[in-house]
Amino acid sequence: MSEPVTKPFTKAEMDAMRAATRDEESLKRRFWEKFRRVAGKIPFAEDLVAAFYCATDSKTPSRVKLILLGAIAYFVFPMDAVSDLLPLIGFADDAAVLAAAITQVAGSITEEHRKKARDTLGEVSIDKA
């Protein structure tokens, strides 16, 4: 019998994701580090950055922040369901988690967050490797 493509997260992996959402400064740093490495490879970069700005906006409700920070933590967590090292499909699970989170809180991601994301994408240094 073959092993399934995806498997449930271990307790250690879940604990690491929970810790990442509690330590917002560390999450921010890790977000930008990973984003610079992979932004040129992901088609949902603007949505991801807009979600990041919404999650870190002091006016955003706590419930919305928690949902978005959880999705962002999943993005930065190195061991997710589908390895980000796989070409094309490596970010499919990240995109799905982000899409689900954005769907839940769509009204909270403002045009201001999206404009800030577009501006950032025009300025940020992205690794081309």
Give 12-23 pLDDT, tens digit per residue. 766 766 665 666
What's the structural domain count of the chain?
1
Q: For residue 70, what are the domain limits?
A: 11-123
Query: Residue 93 falls within a domain, yes or no?
Result: yes
Residue 86: inside a domain: yes
pLDDT at 85 (0 to 100): 52
Query: pTM to 2 decimals?
Result: 0.70
51 contacts: CB under 8 Å, gap ≥ 6: 68, 71, 72, 98, 101, 102, 109, 113
Q: How far is CA 124 from CA 37, 95, 97, 112, 118, in A?
A: 11, 20, 24, 18, 10
Element (H, E) at 121: helix 111-123
